[in-house]
Structure 1
């Protein structure tokens, strides 16, 4: 057998894309030949080169194949990208906004949300039970994956043990496009329940601008004061924007 093309993980079975996909996938049967051949070629390119070999609209086509088995999905992929900006924006879009797009039904929404959930789980697995300070960039990547494209504010707390290992990641509240209610007493109460020694606060700004508001600054100070009385340290408060983040610690707010 020739050397495997594409993924190099030795745990994966050896295969050659042309042979592995020589027969139509079950969801592709009964299609016009031009659609079937296009899907076959696209899958082969993905297996050979991975995600970097495909632009956003073709990656989106791969996701849509299962939801829409007998129709050319390229126009819908481009329409979704026009509406939501990029691949991440599409898979992160709220179901009610997705369903408003002509051609998007519950099957399409389900496939997109499965991809989103899988991305979140993979990113979360890279930071849970890890020493946070030494994997700060990985933690920020997870925050962006989970929150950067949300259309309303979400407030999360990372709880750390005495060695700054992440022991819990919990959503504390959801809000509107520009406000999320946060109760310092509840944050500290949960930290005590988990026997946490330190906290990192995280929330997103759907506007895309991570600059903290006065209420963000005041809330952070109140959480820091409440936690401090119980011997719990606030390491940082990170605001996630669509293209960048802001660290309260790095920018001198705490």
Structure 2
């Protein structure tokens, strides 16, 4: 090789080899072989092609606390992390949306009460990281298959107005024979409040004469979930 070629040819970047090794580990050993920040790197590779993305991935995990919280963070907050531009924030939002859609498909294609873990996983993915309270209803048919999944209301950080008659009216419109109530606590603590319990009991009493069962009311928080039925509150 001529001497001048050694000086003019760009040296290989260290992160080029790192990308290949990380992809190979994922391919050979699967996702469990990678740390959370490394899985995040794999997402960032596509949007940031010519930069070492490990510091960005680690900074995102450090800022938000976990991979789940990174995926569910609002784009504007993601872009507060140095190196994260709008294209990166969009890619992360797409991954989160695909994850939620896949979980919803898993719930919709099966009898809900026999796939309770899938229902909980979907509700956590959809609601645990929302910054405002949401009240969601899963409407079921006679075979407990999912007819519809609807957000009935969005409120403040600690309250969502719920109207029992409207809940029952919507169930009748969809010919649902059972419902599962779900709402989130943005505080992270899923412990039901007195208002949660009273509202649920009112819906149960309103729905029962019309042949509509309330299977459960699930409260979702970052720290876990609470089932009013499991707590024997309904």
Q: TM-score, normalized by length of structure 1?
A: 0.84
For residues 44-81 of structure 1, give each alpha carbon's deviation from its aligned partner in whole angstroms, at most 9, with x where no partner exists: 11111221110011011111111212111111111111
- TM superposition shift of 1:32: 4.9
Q: Is 1:219 matched with 2:199?
A: yes
Aligned residue number for residue 193 of structure 1: 173
- TM superposition shift of 1:151: 2.2
In our comparison, the structure showing a higher alpha carbon Rg is 2
Q: Is 1:95 matched with 2:75?
A: yes
CA distance in 1, matches of 2:41, 2:109: 35
- TM superposition shift of 1:203: 0.9
- TM superposition shift of 1:181: 2.0
Q: Which 4+ runs in 1 deviate beyond 3 A?
A: none
Root-mean-square deviation (CA, aligned residues, Å) is 1.7
Aligned pairs for 1:39-58 (under 5 A) are 39-58=19-38
- Between 1:237-246 and 1:55-64, the stretch displaced more is 237-246
- TM superposition shift of 1:176: 2.0
Q: Give the structure with the larger helix fraction.
A: 2
CA distance in 1, matches of 2:58, 2:160: 33
CA distance in 1, matches of 2:176, 2:129: 29
CA distance in 1, matches of 2:122, 2:134: 14
- The 1:229–1:82 alpha-carbon spacing in structure 2 relative to 1, beyond 3 Å, is same
Which ranges of structure 2 fall in alignment gaps of 5 or more residues? Answer: 1-9
- TM superposition shift of 1:31: 9.8
Aligned residue number for residue 5 of structure 2: none
Aligned pairs for 1:200-215 (under 5 A) are 200-215=180-195
CA distance in 1, matches of 2:28, 2:83: 30
- TM superposition shift of 1:163: 1.6
Aligned residue number for residue 11 of structure 1: none
Q: Is 1:33 matched with 2:13?
A: yes
CA contact (8 A) 1:159 1:196 kept: yes
CA distance in 1, matches of 2:75, 2:160: 21
**Number of residue-to-residue matches in the alignment:** 225
- TM superposition shift of 1:131: 1.2
CA contact (8 A) 1:132 1:139 kept: yes
CA contact (8 A) 2:190 2:223 kept: no
